[in-house]
Amino acid sequence: MSVYLLLILIGLPLAGFLLARRQAVAMVGGGSSLHSLPDFHGAYVAAWTGIPATLLVVLWIALQGPVLDQAVFASLPDDFRDAVANQSLVIAEIHSVADGRIFGEPAPEVRAAAERLQTWRSMASWSMVAVAAAAALAGLVVTRSRLAPAFRARHRVEDVLSGLMVVCSVIAVLTTLGILLSLVFESIRFFARVPWYEFLFGLNWEPQIAIRSDQVAGLGSFGAVPVFLGTVVIAVIAMLVATPIGLLSAIYLTEYASPRFRAVAKPSLEILAGIPTVVYGFFAVLTVAPALRIAGAWIGLDVAPNSALAAGSVMGLMIIPFISSLSDDALAAVPQAMRDGSAALGATKVRDHREGAAAGSASRDHGRRPAGGQPGDRRDHDRGDGRRPDRQDDPEPVRLGHHRDRADRHPADRRHRVRQPQDPGRLRPRHGAVHQHALPERGGAADRPEISREI
């Protein structure tokens, strides 16, 4: 049945796209001028063929379970239903018997209800396939009949995409709102039983309480201080593991690695960010924790299998890509002029990384103003847009001795260009022209015979 359903939801829209596109191309061949491209005609037919059928299938699957459960429970004998104390337990037992998970000897009424449930499930599934196929075919026929040279297929496709984006946005907002309301509701129920001061300042965390009257369990302690302290300890261990590795890897990839090695190593390092956290958890429980326990036994230490060291170490491995990426961005934000100036003053690579990265990133974030510079200081020669602060009306940017840094150019891939000195002849004034700064500070042109002759 699943194969038929996939053929309906994927095959029919694809067939509709191809048929509508061919029809639009045939209109062009007949001498007509299309308002939209043939691909938009095909996308319009495919959208209205697949989307209604998909929504119908989703709605059918969501309602099929509750409707069948109520129908099966209503089909039980009246005396049996009256003797049932919990309806959900009986329905769960009927589902287990229908799925073949039989524990003990079920009642004859339950076995008969399970057989009816199997029959009704099959009927409902095939009915869903038939209804989905009918909806897809109806959409295919109706939309193909609307195709014409003047049909605004592109506008219709854009409307469909806009509607889908709005629906996705509404689903995301409603999901977030549902999570928030669930947390608030459960928190109200929790603090109705546990005082807030016990939760915030309690020193014991043992959430083992008796759910039923015949269950043996503790009274329960809900002090969150151990939970908070454990979180801080694990975070500190994770940072001790991830910070050196991530920072040093970013420095090497930024400053020393070749472009070919960086093109391979950078994506390989960022693959760690795509691994699910559940995988890290299994890795910590099955590999890291036993290894730490064995290592502790070698040196005479008793390491618990669920220690914070194992959790913090694995979490440190998990956040290495984030620290490496942030460090890489910080190093890339340093202007090359600052790097060259630091090297010219005799700074080592280590000092350049330690002080230049922080100062360079701060200067770029604050308009490229170096530390200690004032808004009107002449030392602040580069504000980020290449203009002098004392000549803000000068449209000509300040030309440094190399090309300006670009956001998409990594420091490891930059190529320095040496600026050639300008021809002195280009700086000479034309015959008969006198520059303003060439006039004497005191006196007139008579005090300078050469200037008098030019004038």
Per-residue model confidence (pLDDT) at position 223: 85
pLDDT digit string, tens, across residues 136-165: 999 999 998 888 888 898 999 999 999 999
Tell me how far apart the alpha carbons of residues 229 and 402 are, in angstroms, rounded to a whole number: 52
CA 72 → CA 90, 110, 285, 331, distances in Å?
A: 10, 10, 44, 66
CB 223 within 8 A of CB 206: no
Mean pLDDT of the chain: 77
Per-residue model confidence (pLDDT) at position 219: 66
pLDDT digit string, tens, across residues 262-271: 888 888 888 8
CA 77 → CA 99, 128, 152, 422, distances in Å?
A: 22, 29, 60, 103
Please report which confidence band the pLDDT of residue 257 belongs to, taking 50, 70 and 90 as the band edges.
confident
The single-letter code of the amino acid at 322 is: F
Say yes or no to pLDDT of 134 above 90: yes
Map tokens 């980020």 to a residue.
384
pLDDT digit string, tens, across residues 14-34: 999 999 999 888 888 777 788
Please report which confidence band the pLDDT of residue 185 belongs to, taking 50, 70 and 90 as the band edges.
very high
The residue length of the chain stands at: 455
Q: Out of 71-85, 247-261, 428-442, pick the least confident.
A: 428-442
Say yes or no to pLDDT of 378 above 70: no
CB 149 within 8 A of CB 27: yes
pLDDT digit string, tens, across residues 279-318: 988 888 888 888 888 888 888 888 887 888 888 999 998 9
Mean pLDDT of 364-373: 46
Q: Taking Cα atoms as reference points, which of 14, 19, 21 lies closest to residue 47?
A: 14
Per-residue model confidence (pLDDT) at position 137: 93
Say yes or no to pLDDT of 180 above 90: yes
CB 246 within 8 A of CB 327: yes
pLDDT digit string, tens, across residues 196-228: 888 888 888 877 776 666 665 566 778 888 889
Q: Two tokens at 410? A: 């990594």
Mean pLDDT of 231-244: 92
Per-residue model confidence (pLDDT) at position 59: 93
Please report which confidence band the pLDDT of residue 360 belongs to, taking 50, 70 and 90 as the band edges.
low
**More confident: 396 or 6:** 6
Tell me how far apart the alpha carbons of residues 184 and 172 are, in angstroms, rounded to a whole number: 18
Tell me how far apart the alpha carbons of residues 8 and 146 are, in angstroms, rounded to a whole number: 22
pLDDT digit string, tens, across residues 389-403: 444 444 444 444 444
Q: Two tokens at 98? A: 């229908």
Per-residue model confidence (pLDDT) at position 104: 72
